[in-house]
């Protein structure tokens, strides 16, 4: 789906009572690994669009750095992100029940820059990465079809996660020692998922899978 799994990482870490200072940098670090794999896969499949990507990324990168340097209380960002995930899941599931008949069109430059800045800041602040915010926006507004959305979401998450992690390092210079082990597992899963999503899954299946991921992650973040 072009997502790096940060919402699931945060949900699982929350369930196992990881310290807030561990959750965000861990999610951002794993995002970088998995999003790099997904970016390569979707790019090779011809699904990456520079013209769609750069207006969102140009503002999101510095905003993600600023958000990464800030520390929000864990419970606050869990609830906020969980509510957003559940809202996005409802729309995504409904969209999967019927074909997208409307033609897509490029977003206005100002709208992409404003949205990119807001999503980038939330990405750095929470460690989510931004794909869970960008994908529903692109599909809801008719700015991209599903697989093109996945092809843009992966590099968007990659650049935001790098910026967010650099911002985090500017205030807290450490990463959990278990990152290499978790990273190996995340990369393996990301490789399999990106291979499937970039070549085999039809658009309705992608939307259904995305809605399921959003529901599970959102519920865990809010109710754990």
Domain ranges in the chain? 6-223
Between 146-171 and 203-223, two packed helices, what is the crossing angle to 10 degrees? 30
What residues contact residue 171 under an 8 Å CB cut-off, 6+ apart?
Answer: 69, 70, 71
DSSP helix/strand/coil, 77: helix
Residue-level pLDDT at 57: 96
The pLDDT of 2-6, averaged and rounded, is 58
pLDDT at residue 108 greater than cutoff 60? yes
Residue-level pLDDT at 65: 95
Query: Is the pTM for the entire model greater than 0.75?
Result: yes
Residue-level pLDDT at 220: 72
The pLDDT of 136-155, averaged and rounded, is 85
Quick check: 72 and 125 in contact, CB under 8 A?
yes
Q: ∠134-135-138 over CA atoms, to 5°?
A: 85
Q: In whole angstroms, what is the distance from residue 48 CA to residue 148 CA?
A: 7
Q: How many residues does the chain have?
A: 224
The pLDDT of 163-180, averaged and rounded, is 73
The pLDDT of 181-207, averaged and rounded, is 62
Neighbours of 80 (CB within 10 A): 16
Q: In whole angstroms, what is the distance from residue 1 CA to residue 190 CA?
A: 10
pLDDT digits (tens, 9 = 90+) for 22-61: 778 888 888 888 888 888 888 888 888 999 999 999 999 9
pLDDT digits (tens, 9 = 90+) for 205-222: 666 776 777 677 778 778
Fill in the DSSP letter of residue 46: T
Residue-level pLDDT at 177: 65
- Residue 103's pLDDT band (boundaries 50, 70, 90)? confident
Average pLDDT, the chain: 78
Residue-level pLDDT at 51: 93
Indicate the burial class of 178 (C-beta count within 10 angstroms; 0-12, 13-18, 19 or more). exposed
Lookup result for tokens 């990465």: 129
């Amino acid at each position: 789906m072009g997502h790096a799994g940060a919402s699931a990482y945060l949900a699982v870490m929350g369930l196992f009572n990881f310290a807030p200072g561990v959750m965000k940098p861990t999610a951002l670090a794993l995002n970088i690994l998995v999003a790099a794999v997904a970016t390569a896969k979707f790019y090779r499949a011809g699904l990456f669009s520079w013209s769609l990507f750069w207006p969102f990324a140009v503002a999101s990168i510095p905003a993600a750095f600023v958000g990464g340097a800030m520390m929000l209380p864990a419970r606050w960002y869990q609830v906020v992100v969980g509510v957003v995930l559940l809202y996005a899941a409802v729309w995504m599931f409904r969209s999967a029940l019927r074909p997208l008949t409307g033609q897509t069109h490029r977003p206005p430059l100002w709208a992409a820059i404003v949205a990119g800045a807001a999503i980038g800041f939330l990405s750095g602040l929470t460690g989510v990465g931004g794909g869970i915010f960008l994908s529903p926006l692109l599909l809801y507004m008719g700015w991209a079809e599903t697989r093109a959305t996945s092809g843009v979401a992966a590099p968007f998450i990659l650049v935001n996660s790098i910026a967010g992690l650099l911002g985090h390092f500017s205030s807290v210079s450490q990463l959990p020692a278990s990152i290499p082990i978790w990273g190996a597992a995340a990369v393996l899963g990301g490789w399999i998922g990106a291979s499937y999503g970039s070549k085999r899954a039809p658009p309705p299946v992608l939307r259904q899978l995305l809605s399921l991921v959003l529901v599970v992650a959102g519920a865990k973040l809010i109710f754990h």
